């Protein structure tokens, strides 16, 4: 990176590089319990062995000795962490850059001077924030600012919950329910999920799916009961957190919705939906700066996401009297949702904005 003739750097000529010390050597260890029913050899009187008895160990008529048993086998998977970095210019909510941070390393280029808020997040473990100042007197001869720090997440750390053992009948019913759910057969799917929880009351995913089916039928009271049951078993049940947050948002419990969405973001910081919804919760609480923070991050992750964060962002900027930002957000919406039914109305709004 070259200096200008007067020894200064041009706008947008800075870059930020970082190296973050990750816990557990950058790997998440996940325990997986595999259960299977199998025929186990049992000794006969003559010392030989044979197969083919029922699960209680009693011999079936016409079958030789042996026992059918359920066995549990524990195994472990090591999954590489997938850290993410969000860099936002303090005082300009529209400026937000997202970057991967594989193995804790990240690089963000084409930065102008200013003060930035850096958010470093690891799904399932948490996030941390740092303020970074970038200016001609804080960069090296190549226009680079280098950060080195260890990952120390703020707030409660979300850790994966080891699943309860799930027996064959419950797992089989859940599998059938999942197939019916994917086909759009809600009634059939619900019956299978009911069978699953009758066999295993601690099947968090089955309770969650039952809640989702009730949401599709607009039975929010029943849905809430199922989501709360799922969260009681597994506080990190991501979809249950997201859906229950939305129910609380609709009920006007904005602080309760905020708390659930914040937990969901800790688990999956790269999903724009809970960020848009969290923006709505903060908006309803009149915390406009916090609302903009999450809405802009949602748009940065996926500007074409169905939650359409540009709409609420534009409304907040309208409330703040920032016409230029309103126009920017609405034009961004038109670019990403050209076939949306709201397009004619938004074009009318843009045509009427005074300059």
Query: Model pTM?
Result: 0.73
User: Residue 219: helix, strand or coil by DSSP?
Assistant: coil
DSSP letter assigned to residue 44: -
The residues pairing with 97 across neighbouring beta strands, listed in sequence order, are 87
Q: What is the pLDDT of residues 46-86, one digit of tens each?
A: 444 343 334 333 333 444 444 545 556 566 566 778 889 99
> What is the C-alpha to C-alpha distance for residues 31 and 135, in angstroms, rounded to an integer?
46
In the chain the domains, ranked by start, together with CATH numbers, are 14-22+82-150 (2.60.40.10), 27-79 (no CATH)
pLDDT digits (tens, 9 = 90+) for 96-130: 888 889 889 999 998 988 899 999 988 777 888 89
CA 291 to each of CA 249, 279, 298: distance values in angstroms, whole numbers, following the listed order: 14, 4, 11
> How many residues are there in the chain?
355
Distance, in Å, from the CA atom of 214 to the CA atom of 226, rounded to the nearest integer, reads 9
The percentage of the chain sitting over the pLDDT mark of 70, rounded to a whole number, equals 78
């Amino acid at each position: 990176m070259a200096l200008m003739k007067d020894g200064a750097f041009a706008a947008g000529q800075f870059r930020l590089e970082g190296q973050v010390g990750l816990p557990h050597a950058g790997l998440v260890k996940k325990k997986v319990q595999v259960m299977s029913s199998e025929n186990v050899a049992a000794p006969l009187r003559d010392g030989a062995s044979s197969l083919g008895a029922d699960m209680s160990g009693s011999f079936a008529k016409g079958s030789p000795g042996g026992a059918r048993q359920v066995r549990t086998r524990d195994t472990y998977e090591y999954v590489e962490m997938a850290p993410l970095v969000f860099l936002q210019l303090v005082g300009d909510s529209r400026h937000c850059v997202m970057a991967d941070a594989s193995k804790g390393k990240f690089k963000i280029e084409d930065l102008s001077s200013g003060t930035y808020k850096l958010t470093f997040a690891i799904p399932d473990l948490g996030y941390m924030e740092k303020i970074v100042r970038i200016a001609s007197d804080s960069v090296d001869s190549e226009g680079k600012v280098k950060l080195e720090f260890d990952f120390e997440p703020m707030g409660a750390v979300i850790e994966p919950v080891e699943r309860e053992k799930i027996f064959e009948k419950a797992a089989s019913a859940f599998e059938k329910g999942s197939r019916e759910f994917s086909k759009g057969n809600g009634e059939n799917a619900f019956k299978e999920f009911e069978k699953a929880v009758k066999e295993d009351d601690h099947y968090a995913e089955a309770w969650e799916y039952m809640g989702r089916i009730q949401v599709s039928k607009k039975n929010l009271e029943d849905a809430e009961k199922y989501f709360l049951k799922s969260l009681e078993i597994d506080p990190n049940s991501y979809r249950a957190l997201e859906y229950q947050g939305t129910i609380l948002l609709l009920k006007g419990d904005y602080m309760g919705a905020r708390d659930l969405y914040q937990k969901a973001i800790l688990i999956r910081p790269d999903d724009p939906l809970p960020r848009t919804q969290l923006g709505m919760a903060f908006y309803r609480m009149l915390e406009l700066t916090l609302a903009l923070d999450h809405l802009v991050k949602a748009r940065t992750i996926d500007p074409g996401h169905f939650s359409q964060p540009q709409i609420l962002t534009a409304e907040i900027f309208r409330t703040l009297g920032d016409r230029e930002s309103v126009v920017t957000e609405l034009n961004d919406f038109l670019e990403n949702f050209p076939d949306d039914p709201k397009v004619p109305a938004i074009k009318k709004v843009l045509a009427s904005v005074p300059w």
